[in-house]
């Protein structure tokens, strides 16, 4: 594809495949535009045809015809860019000045085709250094020795490390110097590599946009499916719970809107990064294509660094519908609900979180000396005497133990058996909390836990108990377990980490 990117490149005139201004633009039936050659390459050696941007599939290969209106707009845009280019005129022409094609660093003059002829013919002049015509010719001459800047000093590493041959015999004679063309080529190679990196970053972010769009669409379909299922259940209930049905649907819609808003914000942020990356890519392309070695070297340090962008690897839109947050409202009406409704909601909510199951093992470095761990690290109970354990800054003074595994992103789920116990505590805590003081189980102190203080006060089904919402975290979270004192044998049963079935 022809490269004609400009500093004010309009995204609408850019092919999303080659990231250049359109060449022979064609439009698919879904309304997206591409270079004809780019789209044809995408459909080579394949029997399935789809839009590279929105992934819409076509039953047969579309007949691609050039969008003449868009082509004229692109042509006008390219001409506008060319009009903005500065021109250097010949220093020798007496009457009507002709546009210069070359500048001589030895003569410190610029020449048109006619007046350049002696430099191409006369042996003495053929030894002069010619460059593409530039306006600021004095910037290419050593101010101290009035000789062309032909060398680069790698020891100084300042904007003025371009020197002349006289400089290499004077203050730079012990320095590592190379011809300016060699250094320019090395810098150009760096810029080309950075262009490649940025191009890949752009592609990754465009792919992430499609992933987010797909996730929110999948979530929307799942929402519609759950809405339909919920309506069927509510149709079997008495009139008194019709209000609950309305509230359920409303909350599910709000969750969907929240997910769509989150997706919109993420896409906006990704598109902003893509715009910045495209701008950087354009700057890199312009400077890497120039023969202005001095300007290339001076600009390289500021353009060759990797752009500051966000790590999008772990960022996703959850496509599942979680109805656990609705359970508390439903339990208030459970005396009027039909048994199968409560069972259905419980199964749906549990299933939606069980897919995030993780395998955790208790960490002996954190366990309180009064607690006993099983050999497999899956059970903890309170003993009668303190165990002989080594000092460890991770060990708790309170009756608790953490899992070895910590989590800094994503979702995680684990199950613990509390059968036969009269007191227990479970949850997650911040990694950074003080372990050598008496703990206070509150979110403000870094603890998110649920606990039982009086025996037999259990919920006798797999029902949702409580949700912590509106929380933020800056360090890792670790699963937390407290079997509480054995209370003369009344609470001697262990907490058991069980496999998720």
Angle, CA of 179, 182 and 187, to the nearest 5°: 125
Tokens of 218: 């999948």
Scan for tokens 């280019």, then name that residue.
85
CA Rg value for the chain = 35
C-beta of residue 361 within 8 angstroms of C-beta of residue 403: yes
Q: Given phi > 0 = left and psi -120 to 50 = alpha, else beta, which region is 236?
A: alpha
Angle, CA of 485, 491 and 497, to the nearest 5°: 90
Q: Kindly report the length of the chain.
A: 501
The whole-number pLDDT of residue 110 equals: 92
> Distances in Å between the alpha carbon of 175 and those of 147, 153, 169?
19, 7, 10
**pLDDT tens series, the chain, 501 aa:** 334 444 445 567 888 888 788 888 999 988 889 998 888 888 887 888 888 888 888 888 888 888 888 888 888 887 666 544 557 899 999 888 888 989 998 888 999 988 999 999 999 998 888 888 888 888 888 888 888 888 899 887 665 578 888 898 988 889 999 998 888 888 888 888 888 888 888 888 888 888 888 888 888 888 888 788 777 777 766 666 666 667 777 878 888 888 889 889 899 989 998 998 888 888 888 887 877 778 777 777 777 777 778 888 888 877 766 656 555 656 666 656 655 665 666 666 677 788 888 999 999 999 999 999 999 999 999 987 888 888 899 999 899 999 999 998 888 999 999 988 889 999 999 999 989 888 888 888 899 999 887 666 667 666 677 888 888 888 899 999 999 998 888 899 999 999 987
Q: How far apart are CA 323 and CA 352, in angstroms?
A: 8
Q: How far apart are CA 269 and CA 67, in angstroms?
A: 31
SS3 label, residue 47: coil
Output the CA torsion 479→481→415→329 (10° steps).
-90
The whole-number pLDDT of residue 239 equals: 60
The whole-number pLDDT of residue 215 equals: 86
Q: Is 299 exposed, middle or buried (0-12, 13-18, 19+ CB in 10 A)?
A: buried
Q: How far apart are CA 421 and CA 453, in angstroms?
A: 10
Check the CA dihedral 419-425-430-432 and report its sign. Answer: negative
For residue 333, give the nearest of 248, 232, 254 by alpha carbon: 248
Regarding pTM above 0.75, the answer is no
Q: How far apart are CA 99 and CA 102, in angstroms?
A: 9
Q: How far apart are CA 141 and CA 143, in angstroms?
A: 6
Check the CA dihedral 238-239-244-250 and report its sign. Answer: positive
C-beta of residue 423 within 8 angstroms of C-beta of residue 484: yes
Helices (H), 17-152: 36-42, 68-83, 113-121, 123-126
- Number of helices (H), then strands (E), belonging to the chain: the values are 10, 18
The whole-number pLDDT of residue 11 equals: 66
C-beta of residue 151 within 8 angstroms of C-beta of residue 170: no
Residue 325: count of CB within 10 angstroms of its CB: 13
Q: How far apart are CA 444 and CA 141, in angstroms?
A: 67
Helices (H), 96-179: 113-121, 123-126, 165-169
Helix (H) / strand (E) containing 351: helix 339-354
C-beta of residue 453 within 8 angstroms of C-beta of residue 334: no
The whole-number pLDDT of residue 367 equals: 93
């Amino acid at each position: 594809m022809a490269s004609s990117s400009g500093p004010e490149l309009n995204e609408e005139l850019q092919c999303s495949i080659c990231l250049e201004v359109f060449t022979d633009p064609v439009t698919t039936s879904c309304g997206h535009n591409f270079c004809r050659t780019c789209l044809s390459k995408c459909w080579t050696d394949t029997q399935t045809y789809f839009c590279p941007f929105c992934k819409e599939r076509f039953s047969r290969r579309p007949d691609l015809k050039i969008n003449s209106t868009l082509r004229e707009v692109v042509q006008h845009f390219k001409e506008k860019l060319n009009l903005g280019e500065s021109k250097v005129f010949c220093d020798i022409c007496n009457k009507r000045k002709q546009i210069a094609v070359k500048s001589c660093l030895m003569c410190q003059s610029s020449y048109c085709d006619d007046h350049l002829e002696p430099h191409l013919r006369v042996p003495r002049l053929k030894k002069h250094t010619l460059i593409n015509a530039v306006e600021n010719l004095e910037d290419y001459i050593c101010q101290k020795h009035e000789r062309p800047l032909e060398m680069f000093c790698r020891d100084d590493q300042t904007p003025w490390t371009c020197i002349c041959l006289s400089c290499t015999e004077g203050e730079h004679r012990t320095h590592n110097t190379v011809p300016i063309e060699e250094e320019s080529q090395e810098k150009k190679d760096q810029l080309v590599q950075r262009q490649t990196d940025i191009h890949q970053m752009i592609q990754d972010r465009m792919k992430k946009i499609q992933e987010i769009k797909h996730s929110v669409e999948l979530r929307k379909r799942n929402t519609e499916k759950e809405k339909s299922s919920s309506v069927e259940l509510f149709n079997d209930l008495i009139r008194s719970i019709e209000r609950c049905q309305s509230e359920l649907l409303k909350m599910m819609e709000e969750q969907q809107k929240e997910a769509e808003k989150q997706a919109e914000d993420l896409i906006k942020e990704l598109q902003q990064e893509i715009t910045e990356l495209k701008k950087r890519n354009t700057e890199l392309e312009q400077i890497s294509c120039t023969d202005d070695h001095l300007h290339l070297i001076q600009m390289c340090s500021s353009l060759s660094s990797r752009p500051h962008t966000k790590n999008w690897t772990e960022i996703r839109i959850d496509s599942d519908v979680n109805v656990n947050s609705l359970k508390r409202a439903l339990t208030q009406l459970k005396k009027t609900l039909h048994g199968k409704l409560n069972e259905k909601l419980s199964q749906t909510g549990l299933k939606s979180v069980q897919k995030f199951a993780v395998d955790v093992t208790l960490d002996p470095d954190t366990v309180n000396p009064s607690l006993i761990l099983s050999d497999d690290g899956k059970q903890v109970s309170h003993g009668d005497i303190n165990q002989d354990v080594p000092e460890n800054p991770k060990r708790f003074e309170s009756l608790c133990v953490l899992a070895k595994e910590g989590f800094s992103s994503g979702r995680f789920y684990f199950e613990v058996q509390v059968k036969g116990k009269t007191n227990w505590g479970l949850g997650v805590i911040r990694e950074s909390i003080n372990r050598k003081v008496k703990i206070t189980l509150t979110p403000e102190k870094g603890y998110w836990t649920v606990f039982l203080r009086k025996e037999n006060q259990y919920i006798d089904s797999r029902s949702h108990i409580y949700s912590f919402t509106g929380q933020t975290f800056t360090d890792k979270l670790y699963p937390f377990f407290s079997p509480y004192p054995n209370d003369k044998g009344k609470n001697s049963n262990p907490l058991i980490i069980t496999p998720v079935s």
